[in-house]
Amino acid sequence: MLEPLLYFGGTILATAVVAVLLCHYRTAHHKRISYGTLIASSMIANLGVFLGLGIYEEGWHIFTPEAWTGGKGGLGSALVVLTVITLFCLLPALGVAVYYQSRSKRDETHLGERPGCRQGRDRVSVGNRTPLPRPA
């Protein structure tokens, strides 16, 4: 049904793109990057490439039961392939997440304190440079 090398390469590339988008969104809203972000990026990319290549090769026939009954294993083997490729796609998503976490920590240390403030207690927010409330 699907070309294996094209499918594998497409999912790896799509996972990296989706992970960059999700991690950028979460860091822009000052949220932590969690394992759910990694799993979501891998699953979204995998299902998107699977459906995209399936529709490209099979047409709308992919949504009929007859498309899944014939061939090498049917629906069961397709789900096994989806699961294995999803697990492999966690690696590029993990690499993107590590990069964004280190980048957010670096930005936090560079913009966290104003030079010349008393003992570093006046903190500055990243976006508009207004003083944040002092910790208790």
Going by pLDDT thresholds of 50, 70 and 90, the confidence category of residue 122 is very low
Position 54 scores a pLDDT of: 81
83 vs 123 pLDDT, higher one? 83
In which region does residue 29 sit, left (phi positive, over 0), alpha (psi from -120 to 50) or beta (all else)? alpha
Residue-wise burial string across 67-93, b where 16 or more C-beta atoms lie within 10 A, e elsewhere: bbeeeeeeeeebeebeeebbeebbebb
Q: How far is CA 121 from the centre of its chain?
A: 36
Does residue 116 surpass a pLDDT of 60? Answer: no
For residue 81, what is the enclosing H or E element? helix 75-88
pTM for the full model? 0.67
In contact, 38 and 97? CB cutoff 8 Å: yes
Position 5 scores a pLDDT of: 82
Does residue 105 surpass a pLDDT of 60? Answer: yes
Position 22 scores a pLDDT of: 92
Mind listing the pLDDT tens digit for each residue in 87-103?
888 899 999 988 888 88
From CA 52, how far away is CA 6, in angstroms rounded? 12
Whether the CA torsion 79, 83, 89, 94 is positive or negative: it is: positive
Beta bridge partners of 123: 113
